[in-house]
Structure 1
Amino acid sequence: MPLINVYLRQGTTAEHRRNVSLGIHSAMVDVLKVPQDDQFHVFHEVSPDNFQMQPVVFGLRRSERAMFVQISVNHRTAEQKAELFRVIVDRLRLFADVPEEDVLMMINETARENWWAAGRVVNPATGYDERMNDAPTGAGATG
């Protein structure tokens, strides 16, 4: 049950936000194998005065369309997170025409026991939602 918060400047369209959501969610389904109906995205449009960012960050020019994507999810391997970042950037470019340099991301990992929603059933062997057929198994699987 990942929770996605997307922070961007005021003035985007509902269609743009839907396309951003579609790009992020399709990456979550493909890379982390979250169930298709496991989608919780919250968009925060803030005034330009409340979105302070240098125009050049890490040597790359960022536009006024830059967004910050914050992902709260159970523990994932470094390889899974790197792949997720790569695929999200690709999908945001494809679905929402967001250039790579305008995507800034962060993952907050939480313990699997910190998530709850009515109807959610966790497979005790994997720590993942029981509907995740491709979830990792074994000692390294923590949710």
Structure 2
Amino acid sequence: MPFTRISLKKGKSPKYRRALMEQVYLAMRETIEIPENDRFATITELESENFNNSGDYAGIDRSEDVVFIEITLNAGRTVEKKKALYAEIAKRLTADPGVRPEDVVISLLEVSKENWSLGNGVAQYA
């Protein structure tokens, strides 16, 4: 059960924001085989003064339209699966809603299965 947090500068349309969530979900379905309808995601829009994209850190020239994607998921995927996920997210977001690949910043946070409660105060995976 991944939980996705997407952060971007304020001002994009609802259609743009929905496309971000949908394309990240589809990339996870394709590359790391998450279950169908496993859609846990939020979007946070930030004012300019609360947003720093580090410009050209690591030799990548990011614009003001950078999108930060943080995915918390169960530990255990291979490096190859993670690389495939990064590539697929960038490809999909370039196609829809039109994010430059340079502006797609992704981090994965891996947790043990017992660190989830999906509701009712129950550790469903423990």
**TM-score normalised by structure 2 residue count:** 0.90
Q: Residue in 1 aligned with 2:72?
A: 72
1:32 Cα deviation from its structure 2 partner = 1.3
| SS of the residue 2:87 aligns to | helix
Pairwise CA RMSD of aligned residues? 1.8
Within a 5 Å distance, the mapping from 1:1-143 to structure 2 comes to 1-75=1-75, 76-118=77-119
Larger-gyration structure (1/2): 1
Structure 2: how far apart are the matches of 1:40 and 1:25?
A: 9
Residue 94 of structure 1 deviates from its aligned partner by: 1.3
Q: CA contact under 8 A between 1:8 and 1:68: conserved in structure 2?
A: yes
CA distance in 2, matches of 1:52, 1:95: 24
**What are the ranges of 5 or more consecutive residues in structure 2 without an aligned counterpart?**
none
Percent sequence identity over matched residues?
Answer: 30
Question: Would you say the 8 A contact 1:22–1:95 is kept in 2?
Answer: no
Moved over 2 A (4+): 118-122
Once the two structures are superposed, residues 33-85 of structure 1 have per-residue CA deviations (whole angstroms, 9 ceiling, x without a partner) of: 11221011100101110002232222222111101100000111111111111
Is there any run of 5+ residues in structure 1 with no aligned partner, and where?
128-143
The structure that is helix-richer by fraction is 2
**In structure 2, distance between residues paired with 1:92 and 1:25:** 11
User: CA 1:79–1:48 in 2, change beyond 3 Å: closer, same or farther?
Assistant: same
